[in-house]
Amino acid sequence: MKACLSGTGRVQYLLLACCLFHLVPLSHCGTCPSGWQKGYNEDVCLSLMINLSTWSDSETACKAKGGHLASLNTLDEFYFVQAICGAGALDGCWVGGQEILQAENGVRQWKWSYCETTHDIDLLWVPPLPNGSCTGTTCSNPASPLLCTVVTRAGVKWDFCSSSHSFLCAIGPESECTSPNQSHREYPIILISVCTILAVTTTAIVAFLLAYRRSKRRRRSRRCKLAELSSASGLLQPAFRLYTIRELEAMTGNFSEANLLGSSQDANRGTYRGVLSDGTLVAVKRFQRTPLQSQKEFVYDVLRIARLKQPNLVAVRGCAYENRQGYIVYEYLPNGSLDQRLHYRSPVVPALDWDQRMRIATTLAQGLAYLHDILKPHVVHRDVRASNVLLDEHFDAHILGVGLSRLVLREATVGRTVIAGTYGYLAPEFVYRNELTTRSDVYSYGVLLLELITGRKPTVDGAEPSEWQSTFEWATPLVQAQRFLELLDPTIQTIPDIAQIQCCVDLVYACTQHVPASRPRMSYVVHQLMQLRQGLVPLLLNRAQNPTPRPLVNSSEHINVANLGDNTSSVEIEITEVLS
């Protein structure tokens, strides 16, 4: 690269030297020859010869000195030469203008001595050619010069070229050949323009090479950082690795919609099915691009998540980060998400039966109990919803998105969503007072448990909150009338005992109490559900010990929170240490 730049620099200096060679005036390169003086232009040298000679002899003498008789193209040049030729006792001196008679049309024209181009336009300071100048034998050769110009103290006059006068020689560029009214000063301008274009082009090439070199160095540095993170044995889990974006595209078929897990509305930042080179299935979660997080921060956040180990948490297999966009690779669970099985299943896929739903509710409660009661400090998931629950081959629930708070906070800051969690699952104290405890997850779990029983989503996709009836508004009249069978999802084939349905409904309303302190701990919920699955009706969940259920979110409350976020918006912040 250094040699390339130095070579480019030499080319640039050579181009500039060429420009200077053409544009620097003659007088700047050195003084005029001995016996010569600077002329009317900086690039012209003049020499006055006082010996009397004819015009043709004068032109021959000037050519012998490497020049020609002086030419006058501007008024300033005329004044400059007049001061020389009219000085002292001189009676004028020859300059380069001469008359030419054109034989074809008889038009009398004149030209400068060193040019073959003739002109019929007189200069303002040169008098018209006198009539009758062609007399006697001089007209026998129409091509011979008849009159020539002499500069005197009184001005410019025409005289027979055979007369004798002093003469003024000039050395300099002969750029006046095309027109006597122009000195062709556009030549230096053209040269300057060409040189400027060449210099700008060269500078642009050098800038491109520097930018390319910097980009290459940055990519090399990024690969080194990835290698350094990959070799950090004290931080990485044995099954954890860092992937490249090309590897993820190969796994997921370039993130094709056919591999999308869940509804298509999450395609921009959804979860995709992928296949590793050894045939292992994985799930790849893609985050929205954000400028607020570096690669190192993202990788360490994911490593922190990967260290959480519990059977009901989705295991992290690796991650990738490129172009300010993060990806997390999870273990793949064959039965997909709970949201997909409840609301988007294929007709050939059987619906969840009651026992499977109770198994899902129990294992999900076990995962939340681990976050709330086992981990120190306690962890609030903050986004418990059906699409964040994945199902394995035994229909055990695995919680997705644990610890993604810091990642999704940066994602949400870039977008327009400002509310945390998913609307419909949010606890009232968080919506209205921004209070967050482990009991907020308990509330979301209660909403999800009711979704499992009824098969109804807590929100309607794409609808405003004031336009739909919440699940609680629909379910409460049926509960108050003790019409529990009407609460069941119509796709459930085996109808459970009414006492089991009633116990589950009681547990739903216990988890969704307005006062957070009135909600049970998740370890208590696990205990009640395990008893229920064993065929025991928990005594603490009988109807006499619970208040009459009522809608927890009414229509006016829907309107109050309508502007807080989208129906399906999902935003999380950092893992929160709370006192339960």
- Whole-angstrom distance, CA of residue 452 vs CA of residue 532: 15
Q: DSSP letter string over 386-418?
A: GGGEEE-TT--EEE--TT-HHHHHHHHHHSS--
Contacts of 323 by beta carbon, 8 Å cutoff, 6+ apart = 245, 289
The backbone torsions φ and ψ at residue 541, rounded to the nearest 5 degrees and listed phi first, read: -110, 20
Chain centre distance of CA 135: 84
Residue that has been written with the tokens 């997080």 in this structure: 293
Q: Which of 301, 383, 441, 506 is catalytic?
A: 383
- Whole-angstrom distance, CA of residue 359 vs CA of residue 8: 73
CB-neighbour burial class of residue 534 (10 A; exposed 0-12, middle 13-18, buried 19+): exposed
Residue that has been written with the tokens 């290459």 in this structure: 216
Longest Cα pair distance anywhere in the chain, in angstroms?
Answer: 148
* The two three-digit tokens of residue 190, written as one number: 């053209």
* The two three-digit tokens of residue 377, written as one number: 């400090």
**Beta strands 389-391; 325-331: pairing state:** unpaired
Task: Name residue 159's beta-bridge partners.
Answer: 148
- Whole-angstrom distance, CA of residue 318 vs CA of residue 243: 7
CB-neighbour burial class of residue 434 (10 A; exposed 0-12, middle 13-18, buried 19+): exposed
User: DSSP class of residue 134?
Assistant: S
Q: Is 159 strand, coil or helix? A: strand
Radius of gyration of the chain (CA): 48
Active site residue 373: no
Q: List the catalytic residues.
A: 383
